[in-house]
Amino acid sequence: MKYYVDGYTPPEDVMSYEDVKRYQKLLGVEVDGIWGKKTQAAYEKYLMEKNKQNDNEGYPFGSGVDWEAISKKLTEYFSNVMRPTIDAAIEKRKAASDTFEAELDADSYARGMGGSTFVSSMKARQEESEQDDIAYLESEYSQALAAQVYDSLMKLGSMYAEQKMKQEELELQREKMRQEREMFEEQLRAKERSAAKQNDSAYFSGLKYSDYERYIDSLGAQAEDFFLSQHEYWRYIRAQAKLDLGESGYNQLYNSFMQSRQAKNDRGRDKYDNVEELY
Which pLDDT score, from 0 to 100, does residue 200 have?
A: 44
User: pLDDT (tens digit, 9 = 90+) per residue, 11-23?
Assistant: 887 888 888 888 8
Which pLDDT score, from 0 to 100, does residue 53 have?
A: 55
Counts of helices then strands in the chain (DSSP H, E): 7, 0
Which pLDDT score, from 0 to 100, does residue 199 have?
A: 46
pLDDT at 162 over 50: yes
Which pLDDT score, from 0 to 100, does residue 124 have?
A: 86
pLDDT at 193 over 90: no
| Number of Cβ atoms within 10 Å of the Cβ of 237 | 20
What are the boundaries of each domain within the chain? Answer: 1-54, 67-164, 204-276
Which pLDDT score, from 0 to 100, does residue 277 have?
A: 46
Which pLDDT score, from 0 to 100, does residue 276 have?
A: 45
pLDDT at 242 over 60: yes
More confident residue, 10 or 61: 10
Nearest-Å Rg of the Cα atoms of the chain is 38
Per residue in 37-48, is it b (16+ CB within 10 Å) or e — as a string? Answer: eebbebbeeeee
State whether the Cα torsion 30-34-35-37 is positive or negative: negative
Which pLDDT score, from 0 to 100, does residue 91 have?
A: 93
pLDDT at 218 over 70: yes
**pLDDT confidence of 177, banded at 50, 70, 90?**
confident
Say which residues have a Cβ less than 8 Å from residue 249's Cβ, sequence separation at least 6: 209
User: pLDDT (tens digit, 9 = 90+) per residue, 73-128?
Assistant: 989 999 999 999 999 999 999 999 889 888 887 877 777 766 678 778 888 888 88
What is the rounded average pLDDT of the residues 182-211?
Answer: 66
| Number of Cβ atoms within 10 Å of the Cβ of 24 | 20
